[in-house]
Amino acid sequence: NADLALYHAKERGRDGYYFFTEELNTKALKLLHIEQELRHALQMDEFSIVYQPQVCLKTGSISSIEALIRWNHPVRGEVAPDEFIAIAEETGLIVQIGEWVLKNACMQTQMLQQLTGQPIRVAVNLSSRQFSDPNLETIIEEVLVETGIDPTYLELEVTESMLMDDIDKVIQQLNRIKSAGITITIDDFGSGYSSLSYLKRLPVDILKVDREFVRDIPDDLNDMEITSAIIAIAHKLNLKVIAEGVENIDQRDFLVINKCDYAQGYYFSRPLTFEDLYSFFTAGQLKSA
Ligand code: C2E
Ligand code: MG
Ligand code: MG
Ligand code: MG
């Protein structure tokens, strides 16, 4: 495909060709630069984690908190994960960054449990590179031992595409992880390459409906149909469902009526720093679901 692009660029004439290579070089240089910056960020402790509450729609209580990485760049300020996770994935650095997130999220959640006396589950996002890393299970075990968190308070979010590779291998791996008591959630459900026959075989616990389907409720009838259908399928398969990106009361009401189990979004709370999360738990300021 790169050859094809080059061919088309050449066809456009000399100028087009030069323009193309220049652009390519700029991109490669930019990637290299960010890779160096990410390495540096790990050493200099520039990463932090914010936590977004996930709410049980039946009881209104917090069912879990999702750990979301933040990069506090010394010059550029806060850099969003969408701007660096893909690059970290491409360079392989995501394995180290992901281990850092897993360890620190478990450590802080364990601390929060001790401070508040409440059972709190933490959901950590895994990237595809981490999921296919042969050391993943060892890393998880080490983190569990090191932080002392009970595995029933750990949830891992994976995406559909990670699960579609070698289904039998994936099923075995998920079963081993689950046998420790860890919860498995399929993130961004519906946005990827879902096959319902795979879904039936996969040992997962929760489906997280992609924000894309929630965003235009209640204006988009198709999105409402899709969302209620995902909820129904999940329940038929004995899975729980969470909707992400819930921003207003109409969306919440729709989800309640359609028996969605959990919800997450700015309507309930933005992602919070550890300190704010702690006040949140002790003050109980959560808008009732
Ligand atoms: P995600 O796992 O699907 O996380 C949900 C994203 O939606 C978060 O964006 C969250 O801040 C945002 N969000 C939550 N509620 C709302 C809402 O009501 N409206 C809107 N518009 N957005 C909402 P964030 O933190 O920027 O993260 C983006 C993505 O980056 C995540 O999507 C996840 O795929 C990835 N990511 C974040 N942290 C990590 C991490 O530690 N490891 C890995 N591998 N990926 C991560
Ligand atoms: Mg997620
Ligand atoms: Mg998501
Ligand atoms: Mg997403």
Per residue in 226-263, pLDDT (tens digit) is: 999 999 999 999 999 999 999 999 999 999 999 999 99
Q: How far apart, in whole angstroms, are the C-alpha atoms of residue 226 and residue 2? A: 37
Give the model's pLDDT for residue 8: 46
Q: Ligand 2 centroid to 186 CA: how many Å?
A: 9
Please determine, for residue 18, whether its predicted confidence score (pLDDT) is greater than 70.
no
Rounded CA separation 193/191 (Å)? 7
Please identify, by atom number, the ligand 1 atom nearest to the C-alpha of residue 210: 3
Give the pLDDT band of residue 195 (cuts 50, 70, 90).
confident
Whether 53 contacts 65, CB under 8 Å: yes
Chain centroid to Cα 174, Å, comes to: 17
CB 49 within 8 A of CB 105: yes
What pLDDT shows up at residue 193? Answer: 73
More confident call, 232 vs 165? 232
Q: Measured on CA atoms in the order 104, 105, 106, 108, is the torsion positive or negative?
A: positive
* Amino acid, single-letter form, for residue 210: D
Distance CA 47, CA 80 (A): 11
Distance between CA atoms of residues 179 and 163, nearest Å: 18
Ligand 1 pocket test: pick from 68, 156, 187, 269 the residue with the most ligand atoms within 8 Å of its Cβ.
Answer: 68
Tell me: pLDDT of 3 over 80.
no
Q: What is the DSSP letter of 272?
A: B
pLDDT, position 50: 98
For ligand 1, atom 43, name the residue with the nearest CA.
125
CA of 66 relative to ligand 2 center, distance in Å: 7
Residue 20: predicted pLDDT? 55
Return the ligand number nearest the Cα of 214: 1
Among all bound ligands, the one having the nearest atom to the CA of 156 is: 2
Percent of the chain having pLDDT more than 90? 76
| Residue 4 alpha carbon to ligand 1 centre in Å | 35
Mean pLDDT of 205-220: 97
Looking at every residue in the chain, the average pLDDT score rounds to 90
What are residue 261's phi and psi, to 5 degrees? -80, -50
pLDDT of res. 6: 47
- Name all residues whose Cβ lies below 6 A of ligand 1: 52, 68-69, 80-82, 85, 98, 101, 125-127, 157, 187-188, 211, 244-247, 265-266, 271
Query: Over 80: is that where the pLDDT of 41 sits?
Result: yes
Distance CA(75)–CA(162), nearest Å, equals 34
Q: Is the pLDDT of residue 9 over 50?
A: no
